[in-house]
Amino acid sequence: MKDDVTISLEAEKRHISEIARKYDIFDQELEPFGKWVAKIESSVYDRLKDKPNGKLILVTAITPTPFGEGKTTMTVGLVDSLNSIGKKTMGALREPSLGPVLGMKGGATGGGYAQVLPKEKINLHFTGDIHAITTTHNFLSAAIDNSLHFGNPLHLDLEKITWPRTLDMNDRAIREVQTEYRKDKFIITAASEIMAILCLAKDIKDLRQRLGDILIGYDVEGKEVHARALNIIDSMIILLQDALKPNLVQTLEHNGVLIHGGPFANIAHGCNSIIATQTALKLADYVVTEAGFGADLGAEKFIDIKTRYLGETPSVVVVVATLRALKYHGMAEGLSDLEALKIGIANLEKHTSNIRKFNLPYVIAINKFANDPDNELEFLMDWAKDNNHPISLAEVFLKGSVGGQDLAQKVVKLAENKHEVKRIYELSDDLFEKVEKIAQNIYGANAVVYSPKAQRKLKALNEQYHDYPVCVAKTPLSFSNDPKRRGMPHAFDLAIEDVRVSRGARFVVVLTKGIITMPGLPEVPNATKMFIDDLGNISGKL
């Protein structure tokens, strides 16, 4: 089988206006970026706002492994498979961050015969949205320091300025920096509050309010100082104006996907933009979207944070796993592959249990590879049948839409009945209750343990922001704080190191022990596996 980049580059692409017409998008509602990409004007949603929404399908996964489980591959494959059985379907994905693309993970455009195109543009600079977010964030940082330079008229306490700088790159050397005016730090753009705001804002009016609400720090009297005090909100909106529009691309099988926004699910809320999802729900009868990492992180935040602002909940949840990943979660010295699978399957069971707590129907999608042993697949299917888990062997990686039609049929059937979602916490719960409910119900923790700083800060925030959702920043590699404890939950207390409020995004971020908001490059970055010849032809791992 050809590698992903070769499949992508050799694929026939259709002009983006042709893809748009499949979804009744008019030419005048498109802002083309070359032949294969276009931004969608807000007039599309305005024109269709009274049309009933399509059904929302959420794709999540088990606890991630170094191999990847193929969540984006399954999302793209399901879009193609649903279309192939006559269901008008659109995808809604996040934009890849350059940090992981060049660092650890490589691209995020699917794989095999379930990809979005043009792969190389989407994974790199694309339409400049992430650059616009980075620039807007850093302009606010510059404006803060400029205010300090000219006499500090806002009376900011230099030790209590909370707004950092950002860069869409894995660069551990700038986690802590000293500027001319204050101690500062960099976070990756995917963790920026501007990124979260862009993904949660419904329109320019909402964007204006959220940007103005950003907490930049505290004054010498201990009072909050917000971004609107700097009188630069309009300029920030101007920088973000184009980035607020969703980007339309196509799958290998020429179906539409909106790619917009890119927050991480371990340090942010991990979902694509509300604007893109809302627009897709008007354009298609089914919308397939994904949430980052496993059901303990991305799916929980999708339901407990995003859907509160979206006003729509999933009709079905797809939980992605692979044999290789399940064996990884159960592997120990001396065990056979089948024995490791029998142990590792507990990780899948915990994630499906999490989805059941939301009262949502689900189907397990096994991302099947050509060398998966028949006896292991048979054991997995028997386990699912014996435990009443809907399951499908999906071969979208190998076969495209044909390989996912069984999954598509099961999704359609499950989506027939409306389910009333149950959330893990109510907004009326205080912040400590929300953290405890997530930790115990979703992660399986015995208790929550706070550092003195985190305890003090959360208590203070609880007085003003008790009704905000909670966004837990935690390693995606384990249910606990320890990324090396893979597999099933074990006896642990969830350790909280710090807390902050994302006032514009309107959630409280709880940072667990060990979490970092500016990743570093691995010893051998993924960038060393990308190649381009003198004619501009790209190959390798992108």
Is 286 buried (19+), middle (13-18) or exposed (0-12) by CB count in 10 A?
A: buried
Structural contact between residues 227 and 213, judged by C-beta atoms closer than 8 angstroms? yes
Whether residue 91 is predicted with pLDDT greater than 80 in this model: the reply is: yes
| 72 marked as binding residue | yes
**DSSP code at position 293:** S
> Does the annotation flag 400 for ligand binding?
no
* In contact, 284 and 20? CB cutoff 8 Å: no
The more confidently predicted of residues 332 and 139 is 139
Domain 129-240 top-level CATH class: alpha beta
As a whole number, the mean pLDDT across the chain is 95
Residue 68 labeled ligand binder: yes
Query: Closest Cα partner for 271 from 125, 426, 58?
Result: 58
Averaged pLDDT for residues 140-144: 98
Res. 333: pLDDT tops 70: yes
Tell me the angle at which helices 337-357 and 323-330 cross, rounded to the nearest 10 degrees: 100
35's tokens:
């032949």
Tell whether residue 6 is among the known ligand binding residues. Answer: no
pLDDT, tens digit, 9 for 90 and up, residues 53-86:
999 999 999 999 988 889 999 999 999 999 999 9
Half-sphere exposure of 449 (CA within 13 A, CB side): 9
Share of the chain above pLDDT 70, in %: 99
Q: Is the pLDDT of residue 195 over 80?
A: yes
In degrees, to the nearest 5, what angle opens at C-alpha 14 toward C-alphas 11 and 19? Answer: 125
pLDDT at 39: 98
Print the SS3 string covering 369-397: CCCCCHHHHHHHHHHHHHCCCCEEEECHH
CA distance linking residue 192 with residue 504, whole number of Å: 11
Does the pLDDT of residue 211 top 80, yes or no?
yes
pLDDT band of residue 402 (cuts 50, 70, 90) is very high
Q: What's the pLDDT at 535?
A: 86
CB atoms within 10 A of CB 17: 15
Q: Is 66 annotated as a binding residue?
A: yes
- Write down the H helix ranges in 313-373: 323-330, 337-357
Are the beta carbons of 407 and 439 closer than 8 angstroms? Answer: no
β-pair partners for 90? 287
Nearest to residue 320, comparing CAs of 67, 489, 21?
A: 67
Domain ranges in the chain?
4-124+247-414, 129-240, 431-512
Superfamily of domain 4-124+247-414: P-loop containing nucleotide triphosphate hydrolases (3.40.50.300)
252 token code pair = 């290998």
Instruction: Provide the pairing of β-strand 89-93 with 215-219.
Output: unpaired
pLDDT at 5: 87
pLDDT reported for residue 536: 87
CB 461 within 8 A of CB 431: yes
Using DSSP's 3-state secondary structure scheme, residue 418 falls into: coil
Radius of gyration in angstroms for the set of CA atoms belonging to the chain, rounded to a whole number: 23
Q: How far is CA 391 from CA 319, 323, 324, in A?
A: 9, 13, 17
pLDDT of residue 441: 96
Amino acid at residue number 352: T
| Angstrom distance (rounded) from CA 163 to CA 225 | 11
Q: Could you tell me which of 137, 110, 107 has the C-alpha nearest to residue 124? A: 107
Smallest CA-to-CA distance from 366 within 320, 324, 408 is with 320
User: Does the annotation list 221 as a binding residue?
Assistant: no
Name the DSSP class of 299: I
Measured CA distances, 404 to 67, 241, 321, 411 (Å):
21, 38, 14, 11
177: helix, strand or coil: strand
Residues 1 and 421: their CA atoms lie apart, in Å, by 42
Compute the average pLDDT of residues 3-11.
90
Query: How far apart are alpha carbons 496 and 516 in whole angstroms?
Result: 13
User: What is the spatial distance between Cα 534 and Cα 464, in angstroms, rounded to a whole number?
Assistant: 58
431-512: CATH superfamily: Formyltetrahydrofolate synthetase, domain 3 (3.10.410.10)
Q: Is the pLDDT of residue 489 over 70?
A: no
Per-residue model confidence as pLDDT tens digits over 430-441? 999 999 999 999
- Which residues touch 73 (CB under 8 Å, ≥6 apart)? 110, 111, 112, 114, 115, 367, 396, 397
User: The tokens of 20 are what?
Assistant: 């748009």
Instruction: Render pLDDT for 233-282 as a digit per residue (tens, 0 to 9).
Output: 999 999 999 999 999 999 999 999 999 999 988 889 999 999 999 999 99
**CA pair distance 366, 350, nearest whole angstrom:** 16
- DSSP 8-state symbol, 94: P
Is the previous residue joined to 373 through a cis bond, with omega within 30 degrees of 0?
A: no
Helix and strand numbers (H, E) in the chain are: 20, 25
Mean predicted confidence (pLDDT) in 344-354: 96
For residue 331, the model assigns a pLDDT of 87
Q: What angle do CA 294, 441, 309 make, to 5 degrees?
A: 65
Higher-pLDDT residue of 60 and 100 is 60
